[in-house]
Every structure is written in C-alpha cells, then in structure tokens.
Amino acid sequence: MDTHKKELSVLIMALAISWSLAGCGKEGEKPAPPPEQQPGPATTIGTEVDDSAITASVKSALLTDPDVKGLDITVETRKGEVLMSGFVDSQYQIDRALTLARGVDGVRSVDNRMNVKTGETTVGEKIDDAIVTTRVKAALLADETVKSFDIAVATRDGDVQLSGFVDNQAQIDQATAVVRGLEGVKNVINELSVKH
C-alpha cells in the first residue's frame, strides 16, 4: 500500500472514531422512551469505535478500488455486521464491493442492500433526486419517533432507499410512513434493520 493510501486510511479511521465519540457525555438527555420504543441491546463505546473503524476501512477499500464507485455506496456497521446500500451501475460492482468488504479485518458478515441503477439519468433527474433526498432527511429529522441519524437515504428516479440500523420495528414503520407522503417520492425501498 503506498503512503497516500495509508494516510487516507488513517485519516478516515481517525475521523470515524472522533465522530463516534463526539456524542458521548451529553447533558440534558431526554427521558426514556416507552417500552415499545426501547432500543435493542446496548453497544459499548469500544464496540462503537470498532464499528466506526470497520466502516472507515470498508469505505477506504471501496474508494481506492478502480472498479467500484465507493461514493455511491452507503456503509454502516453494527457489531461487525456491515450493511451496504445504495444504487450502483452493475451487478459486477455489487459483487466487487461485497468482496472488498468481506476482506476487511473485523467484518463478521455483510448484508447486501445495494440495487442496480436502471436506465440513464439526466442532470435534471439528478437534481430532482437530490431535492427528494433533502426532503426525506428533513422529514425524518422532524419526526421525534424516528432516529434519522441512523438512517441513510438514497434516491434514484424518485425511488427512495432507506437503510441502516434502528431500535425497533415501530421506527421502521414510521420512517416508511413519513417518506411515502412526501412530494416527489414514487416508491420507498425499505432496507432498514432492527439492531440486535
């Protein structure tokens, strides 16, 4: 591995670790949610740091691979389980991305939620999709029952893909309901998983 790639990997890992630790120790936290909205088993700070390092390593592997457009793939990790989502150009890119992720130290399993893009997209459609993505993220942020920071959003031709790890099925159902009612959303592809 050349020096530039090593520096990039170290920088990505350092950023991921600092972001995961930035929220620790906040004052004035909200009271516990009702039992049906209680989160799954807690992870430790060490596990979160490990997961952040795995995510950073997978993203780095995707970005440095000439066959994979890593910026179009969302990577999230929970207890060593890597969830990959987004829209890519071909099945080959999906297969290559999965191979790269499985080769990263600490990855216990890889959950493929990637979809192959259909047809060409114009600049206008890309702008429309970006607007829809922004609307979706804003709506999820405004809904107190959905922890939208744990939800990744990707839009392609009005199809909105939601992915990530949430606390319970109620959050999955609410996120889907919120998104379905938004202007410009043609279809919701729900790829959310409950934390375990």
Dump pLDDT digits (tens) for 108-167.
999 998 888 776 666 666 778 888 988 998 999 888 888 666 788 888 888 999 988 888
Report the run of H or E that residue 110 belongs to, with start and end.
strand 109-116
Residue type, 31: P
pLDDT at 47 over 70: no
Look up the pTM and report it: 0.54
Q: Please, which residues bridge with residue 159 across strands?
A: 156, 187
Long-range interactions of 119-123: CB distance < 8 A, separation 24+:
119/157, 121/156, 121/157
**Is residue 158 located within the same domain as residue 99?**
no
Mean pLDDT of 49-54: 85
Asked whether residue 24 carries a pLDDT value surpassing 50, the answer given is no
φ/ψ of residue 79, rounded to 5: 50, 45
Q: Which domain holds residue 156?
A: 123-194
| Total domains, the chain | 2
Alpha-carbon gap, residue 147 to 175, rounded angstroms: 9
Q: How far apart are CA 10 and CA 57, in angstroms?
A: 9
Burial class (CB in 10 A: 0-12, 13-18, 19+), 117: middle
Could you tell me the pLDDT band of residue 49, with boundaries at 50, 70 and 90? Answer: low
Above 50 in pLDDT, residue 19? no
The reply to whether 144 falls in a domain is yes
Please indicate, yes or no, whether residues 187 and 137 belong to a single structural domain of this protein. Answer: yes
